[in-house]
Structure 1
Amino acid sequence: MKNKIPIFIISLKKDIERRNVITHSLSAQNLSWIMVDAVEGGQLKDDDLNLLNYKYGKPSHANEIACSLSHQSIYKKIVDSDVDWAIILEDDAIIDTPLSGFINELENGKTSLLKKDHIYLLGGQEGLNSRKRLSLSFFNKIQIANVVFRKVTYKPSKLYRTCCYLIHRDECKKLIELFDETYYVADSWNLFYKLNKVKGYFLAEVIKHPILNVDNSNIEQYRLTEGKTRRKKGIIESKISLFFLEIRRFFRSMKY
């Protein structure tokens, strides 16, 4: 049966095993999906890259551009469709929490609880140092079936990855228009917020992302090695920093 809230999966044609795993997870919950062939970084030509305006900085490598183009292709499909809300998944998303109840409630009117000018991340932050610095509101929460979204109060620059999120077609339009003006990395959550393209973010942690390293992800390789020259803190200094970080996170979570 076709979902009224479509689930788009981004996947390279060659990644048969990944496709099988994620579609099996959805089929087991009687959920349908739309498979979208991802753009391959290695197949991008110089002409394709030269057409992009790098106002906010050049990408680290072609795979990063390919990822951005893949998400753009889905935004266009959503805008051209007659749906309001859609879920976008990358093929390595780990779905070990039931989603059928969540989607069923969305399809039966619970989208009225959502704000069209916000983006709702379904997870994917585990394994990132930035996750420890995120603060989520104690009070501004939205529960739909077994999924609980909490407003991100601090701060969008600590959000990464595009492995799993719920988005409204109006936001897709804004992100397409922005990409037409200038290239941006797919998970430029902070940039969207700073440019007022997105009013804010909610985070639920029901879908997981594989713990990546420099061996299994080119994009992660760049991000993990980006700060290698920073001085490492000692044990006592780290504990003190963590203590004050937890205090700051607590007070930031008191925001609505």
Structure 2
Amino acid sequence: MKPPDEPPPGLIAGVRAVGREPSPENAGQRWGFGAFLLVEAVFVLTAVFITAVARTSGTDIGTSVAFVLVGSMVPTVLAAAVAVVITRVRGNGPLVDLRLSWNWADVKIGLKLGLLGLGLTYLAALVWSRVVGDQNATSAIGELVDGAALPLAAAIAMFLYVCFVGPICEELIYRGLLWGAIERQGWSQWAAFVLTTLIFAASHLEPLRTSLLIVIALPIGIARLITRRLTASVVAHVVNNFLPGLTLLLVSIGVMPT
């Protein structure tokens, strides 16, 4: 099975093409919303299990370096791995089903939208912090790192996760698996864009920051929308996470104040 046809080059042309071209075919794809629900269950149950182990052992997950790293990384990575396995067992594999075909034009679009996302995120975060206060505007990972005072190796591992591993895994799950499940129902690409953006924001389980996460997710979803592939959204997500990830690194090793 071939990947979907190339979209017209450029952001404006890509947006104009959405809705006029037929949706990618899903021949051989034998998974849908059930697969996404299974992946989400793996994510939640893994996080609950890690928390339960920490509490049973009497460990404060907010101050233990090991639990900060494991609790932050393992649920998302494991969930993404399950998504990939599902496409291999019940479909055509991740390259086809999750639209992972490589294209340098997609990288350029992802970079542009990622930089746009950085600007939007910065402005939205400024407004949001004024509305809810700086403490309430802090992300869950930010709170964990703030309480843990990570050593250099652990801080670098967290930086790599926030900037690279996390974005790749989340894109596989939401704008890969979930987007593909929505397309398989015959819904429009705009419906896939809206639903994946909202579910992505809500799935972080940070109710106070959900509206901010929606703003963050918009350019990333647009990258997926106009290219029809995951590469652009992965690049946009990585770029959008870079400065926050770098800030976490510098704070956690004591270079910047909390």
| TM-score greater than 0.5 by the shorter chain | no
1 or 2, which has the higher helix percentage? 2
1 or 2, which has the higher strand percentage? 1
Q: Which has the higher contact order (CA 8 A, sep 6+)?
A: 2
TM-score tier after normalising by the smaller chain length: under 0.3
TM-score, length-scaled by structure 2: 0.28
TM-score, length-scaled by structure 1: 0.28
